[in-house]
Amino acid sequence: MITALLLLPVTAVLAWVYRWFLPRGGRWSGFDSVLLLAVAALAAAWVGWARSAVYQDAGPIFPELVAAAGAYPIIVSGLAAGLAWRRRRARGRAAAE
């Protein structure tokens, strides 16, 4: 529960930033939806693994913090890679025209 509270606002802001930096005239497409779902699935898999791991002499909040701290780079790098791909594709289309 704590992990979701830590991840949801940040993920929402990152999705908004992703949308903001799409190339000119770039609308939200199926690729963007699939990318966001894939990134969310990878982050959820990480959270599940991190929360189930055993941490010796750690408090009850530690697995939640490890889960959130590991999910942030997954989300950021996935959205950054998708954005880079979309921008490169838009540049290639502009050069072809």
pLDDT of residue 45: 96
- Phi, psi dihedrals of residue 56, rounded to the nearest 5°: -65, 135
Q: pLDDT digits over 10-21, tens only?
A: 999 999 999 999
What is the rounded average pLDDT for all residues in the chain? 91
Kindly tell me if the per-residue pLDDT of 93 is higher than 80.
no
Kindly tell me if the per-residue pLDDT of 23 is higher than 90.
no
d(CA 71, CA 44): 8
Residue type, 55: Y
pLDDT of residue 76: 97
Residues in the chain: 97
Using 50, 70 and 90 to split pLDDT, how confident is the model at 30?
very high
E strand segments, the chain:
none
Label residue 57 left, alpha or beta by phi (over 0 means left) and psi (-120 to 50 means alpha): left
pLDDT of residue 70: 95
pTM exceeds 0.85: yes
